[in-house]
Structure 1
Amino acid sequence: MKQNDECTSSGGTHPAAYRAPEGPDADHPQRPLTLPPDTTLERFQDFMHRIGRIVGPDNATVIASNAELQHEDYLDPSKAHDVRPSLRAPATHCLTSLFSIGRNVGYGGAAPRVPGSIGLDMGRNMKRILDVNVDGAYALLEPGVTFIDLHDYLVKNNLRDKLWIDVPDLGGGSVIENTIERGVGNTPYGDHWMMHCGMEVVLPDGTLWRSGMGGLPNPKADPNDPPHEQLPNETWGLFNYGFGPYNDGIFSQSSLGIVVKMGIWLMANPGGYQSYLITLPRDKDLHAALEIIRPLRVGMVLQNVPTMRDILLDAAVMGDRKSYTSSDKPLTDEEMDAIAAKLNLGRWNFYGAVYGPKPIRDVMLQVIKGAFLQIEGAKYYEPEDMPDNLVLQTRHDTLQGTPSTTELKWVDWLPNGAHLFFSPIAKVSGDDGVAQYDVTRRRCEEAGLDFIGTFVVGMREMHHIVCIVYDRKDPVSRKKALWLLRTLIDDAAERGWGEYRTHLSVMDQIAKTYSFNDCAQLKLNEKIKEALDPKGIMAPGKNGVWPKKYKAADWSVPSN
């Protein structure tokens, strides 16, 4: 159960990295560019020396050269900073930060919140799939297990015909990290937090805690084993709640503990599957389509987590901006209509799937087609109808739990492409969807950027994911993107829309928008933080929750 302790720092214009020295200087770690808060160099070096003795020199590294910053690929991200920075310096790191893989792209990557840090790289050595229970249809994982890893495990062990996993659009991220950040996938099991069951957490005081049924000892466990190696109770992965207060939620999107194991429910092979695409020719068709979606989703006719994608999101997967236009202005309706015609797509494109034996699928599809094809000009396609449509072919895989990294191509819409996500929640209604689209598109065009977005439809709400794509090497483009994100947060709050997840540079801003009853929600989070982490050592500032010893104003993020 080794963990990698990595010190990140943000002095000068860049944080930097080096491995602990070997030979005569091995006991004297070099100076990081920025020391952790209230820490002397002597104290820091003593700490790193002691850490190295515990985890080994290969697992105790210090960031102090530019080498780590050059890791910009999604599958090989930097562990020192946000690989898609929107600020001049990739400027935010924290005292004790936690990450599993560091592929939380669009929300900050591996970068924590406060300059000067000790980072725990949970994915470096904790990569075990501890159990896949076929009868109970769940897996027990460590933080380093990615969606690709879990899928490959099922295939290698001939379990794919029995169990499916749910995957987000990009499959390279940690299952645990995505789940505790309340990420979303595509199948009927797409609400990942809803599908978790059983957590093992190291608390700030070192206590090892198991949630739910994990609090009950397993009579088959060897009491001589250390607690983290003792077999869990057999119902740990089957029933979330256990006895007494249910505490799992305080460890999602939080800075209250280190999740070292988690159970995740898997989907039993449904016995059949059919993906589909419905294209809607006009921009104004969004309203009618959302009114159709709501009763079908609540009634479970739409079984999975379907998506309503703007034409530019699909276009960006299949080509960069220069392949469609030579203009440097935001694309007009006429230009987007031309792109849709060129790609044989609609202005809005609805991707979904039905699951189960063929008679069930046929009935479901009959209802779905009968509803959507009432919209003038709407068309229905299955993957074999459009073999060259990269998006449809990729969605066909992800909607049945096969991970991919293909959809990251849309980030290359601009040169040196990077992105921020703006992610407000909306009602599943035509009025609300159109209102959010109108506000976000208008602000995108005001910033000189194209609107690229999708509505991800949950059981009773929609995640509206606005993809703010910019050139990370262009200061003007970076400034536009950050202005746009901060402006949209205020626009949304004025209309009663809140974000469910965000980039670390605007965490404080969003936390303040949840201001009911004099910010009662934030104050409760601060009280829990003080109770569990009174020294404020773990990820201070994450999602706007600061320990008492910190003043948020002292750690404000610059405009650019």
Structure 2
Amino acid sequence: MVSLTALHALRDDELITPPDVTAAGLREALTEMAKVVGDNNVIVHTAKSMKPDTEGQYYNLPKEHDLFYILEKEHFLASAVVSPGSTVEVSAIVKLANKYLTPLWPVSMGRNLGYGGSAPRLRGSIVLDMGHRMNRVLEVSDRDCTCLLEPGVSYFDLYNYLQSNGHKQLWIDNPDLGGGSVIGNTLDRGAGYTPYGEHFSMHCGMEVVLPNGEVMRTGMGALPGNNTWQTFQYGFGPYPDGIFSQSNFGIVTKMGVWLMPDPGGYQAYLFSFPKEADLPEIIERIRVLRIAGVIMNAPTIRNTLIDAAVYGPKSDYTSNKGVLTSEEVDAIAKKIKVGRWNIYGAMYGPEPMRDLQWAALKASFMEIPGATYEFPKPRAEGEPRSILHMREETLKGLPNTYELGWLDWTCPRGSLLGFSPISPATGVDALKQYEMVTKRFREFGFDYMGTFVVGWRELHHIVCLTFDKSDPKQRKKAHRCIELLIDDAAAEGYGEYRTHLCFMDQIASVYNWNGGASLKFNETLKDALDPKGILAPGKSGVWPARLRGRGFELKRSQEPHKL
């Protein structure tokens, strides 16, 4: 990286210029942006200045490229990183971007591991680092159980703020890793594991900078002097909040979030099942209990290896560097004392209420032959945490980073690529998805590590493909494997709900009912709101008219399928 003061010492061919922007134009744009945010908050990047892989990790992720790159490291490379400190500064930067045609790629904290990090979809874009300076908890209401946040507030930050400022009766809901942005995860429609786990449903009110630099507030925030911005989601008229999730229609600078009051009691549990073939029956029983409200949160059904990877790398269990056999997975399950499938869930509420829940859970799951259950046991001093202890914290809204162990499964400091299709919550669909993914993973030489999560009525299948990015062959295999899985899934009616930068165009292309009416609608909105095409071009497969059809899309590979 290069400071702004050194910008003019760079040769033109060293700058990463975006389409339709000259080196001189980029220099002038960055110089003008520095007048808004300060010289120290503009960092210029070149192909030679990318953070070395050995320096990148969860709390020190590169902002200019994807740490877990699938294509070449410099493919998704930013020209600069600009860090605004207020909505006013964001608005001013957006207006300058329109003037100079410099595309912006807003990120909150860039810790969406497995989906691209902070890297921009369009090479040469300026990463707008919303989390570096805009990181305040602005308001908390104990009465309404709400808060108002900026993009740089992580789950750890929010939890610590509540604990340190007299709000201990309020719980947060966090995903598997607690270091990411609350707003970022919500906008990407991420999820957690308490009864408040559907994050976008729990947001209330946004402040948004539109692609022309104008600032708007959604919901009740549109009424001057209102007092219900964080308590009533809809306001009056059309409800626009959804178009700012997974989109390039605006930059969210503030967001309201609903918090969960202490439920008056809590108990985590684990049900383990010994056979791979138990999956369909598990899903069928969970769906019934979930829809009935007996299960109040989103339980996870984890396979053996995703638990094993939290404890240690593959080499701790076996010398087999190929795909593990079913017998080898059984041996690992026995060693770490879990099943082939494991439900991690929790009960919430006073003890009489939990007793009723437990009676229903136990009666249902223990009908599956070989099923066992356990509750977290107190740990002796120095005793390591079990997976159940770790999940107990997550299910209670205590942020942590235990799941980072996945990254070392294949090799030290390995990489992660996510694949996340959605299906009905049925045993038939769960088995079909599982067999579909394991078949492709065996074909390409990857171990299956996955979790099924039952939401309100849908089934999330979260698949973690771990690979060695230092090996170009592994990168190519990982890329091709997911390409084929996207088509496999679409053929069965399953679509991904979020994805890596590499696959945004391909996934947008399979959501093609009625001649691609959905994408056409998004492009129409894009062109109306962002006529110069400066905000996050290519995000979720939506390109502005200025850049559409010029070869920046990444369609599915047409080369013959070879390993």
Identify if the C-alpha distance between structure 1 residues 330 and 50 changes in structure 2 by more than 3 Å, giving closer, same or farther.
same
1:135 to 127, 143, 146: 143
C-alpha separation in 1, matches of 2:312 and 2:476: 25
C-alpha separation in 1, matches of 2:262 and 2:256: 19
Worse-superposed segment, 208-217 or 62-71: 62-71
State the partner residue of 1:261: 254
CA contact (8 A) 1:309 1:348 kept: yes
Worse-superposed segment, 61-70 or 547-556: 61-70
State the partner residue of 2:153: 145
Aligned residues: 526
Give the SS at the match of 1:264.
Answer: strand
Identify if the C-alpha distance between structure 1 residues 528 and 93 changes in structure 2 by more than 3 Å, giving closer, same or farther.
farther
Give the SS at the match of 1:555.
Answer: coil
State the partner residue of 2:17: 35
State the partner residue of 2:507: 510
CA contact (8 A) 2:218 2:240 kept: yes
State the partner residue of 1:333: 326
State the partner residue of 1:10: none
State the partner residue of 2:40: 58
C-alpha separation in 2, matches of 1:213 and 1:112: 32
CA contact (8 A) 2:50 2:64 kept: no
State the partner residue of 1:3: none
Task: Give the partner amino acid of 1:519.
Answer: G
Task: Give the partner amino acid of 2:266.
Answer: Y
Identify if the C-alpha distance between structure 1 residues 84 and 217 changes in structure 2 by more than 3 Å, giving closer, same or farther.
same
State the partner residue of 1:206: 213
Task: Give the partner amino acid of 1:449.
Answer: F
What's the CA shift for 1:479? 1.2
1:456 to 453, 457, 475: 453
Identify if the C-alpha distance between structure 1 residues 154 and 62 changes in structure 2 by more than 3 Å, giving closer, same or farther.
same
C-alpha separation in 2, matches of 1:346 and 1:20: 55
- Cα deviation, 1:12-49, whole Å, max 9, x if unaligned, reads xxxxx21222xxx6777765532121111111111111
C-alpha separation in 1, matches of 2:345 and 2:550: 45
1:247-326 alignment runs, 5 A limit: 247-326=240-319
C-alpha separation in 1, matches of 2:332 and 2:7: 59
CA contact (8 A) 2:172 2:397 kept: yes
2:204 to 197, 212, 222: 197
What's the CA shift for 1:93? 4.1
2:106 to 89, 98, 109: 98
Task: Give the partner amino acid of 1:66.
Answer: S
RMSD across aligned C-alpha pairs, in angstroms? 1.6
CA contact (8 A) 2:505 2:554 kept: no
1:542 to 539, 543, 546: 539
CA contact (8 A) 1:30 1:45 kept: no
State the partner residue of 1:224: none
- Cα deviation, 1:405-431, whole Å, max 9, x if unaligned, reads 111111210113111111000111111
1:113 to 121, 124, 129: 121
1:458-537 alignment runs, 5 A limit: 458-537=455-534
Structure 2's unaligned 5+ residue stretches are: 79-102
State the partner residue of 2:58: 74
What's the CA shift for 1:553? 5.2
C-alpha separation in 2, matches of 1:556 and 1:130: 39
1:349 to 342, 351, 373: 342
CA contact (8 A) 1:131 1:140 kept: yes
Give the SS at the match of 2:247.
Answer: coil
State the partner residue of 1:410: 406
What's the CA shift for 1:309? 0.3
What's the CA shift for 1:52? 1.2
State the partner residue of 2:100: none
What's the CA shift for 1:133? 0.7
CA contact (8 A) 1:444 1:484 kept: yes
CA contact (8 A) 1:28 1:49 kept: no
C-alpha separation in 2, matches of 1:56 and 1:350: 50
Identify if the C-alpha distance between structure 1 residues 191 and 520 changes in structure 2 by more than 3 Å, giving closer, same or farther.
same
CA contact (8 A) 2:18 2:123 kept: yes
CA contact (8 A) 2:50 2:65 kept: no
What's the CA shift for 1:158? 2.6
Identify if the C-alpha distance between structure 1 residues 329 and 381 changes in structure 2 by more than 3 Å, giving closer, same or farther.
same
TM-score normalized by the length of structure 2: 0.91
Give the SS at the match of 1:275.
Answer: strand
Task: Give the partner amino acid of 2:449.
Answer: I
Task: Give the partner amino acid of 2:15.
Answer: L
TM-score normalized by the length of structure 1: 0.91
CA contact (8 A) 1:183 1:191 kept: yes
The answer on 1:171 being equivalent to 2:178 is: yes
CA contact (8 A) 1:28 1:45 kept: no
State the partner residue of 1:428: 425
C-alpha separation in 2, matches of 1:350 and 1:399: 12
The answer on 1:83 being equivalent to 2:76 is: no
What's the CA shift for 1:480? 1.2
C-alpha separation in 1, matches of 2:385 and 2:252: 39
What's the CA shift for 1:139? 0.6
State the partner residue of 1:11: none
C-alpha separation in 1, matches of 2:50 and 2:128: 19
Paired-residue identity, %: 49
Structure 1's unaligned 5+ residue stretches are: 1-16, 219-232
C-alpha separation in 1, matches of 2:389 and 2:74: 35
C-alpha separation in 2, matches of 1:60 and 1:385: 49
CA contact (8 A) 1:20 1:29 kept: no
Give the SS at the match of 2:194.
Answer: coil
CA contact (8 A) 1:282 1:346 kept: yes
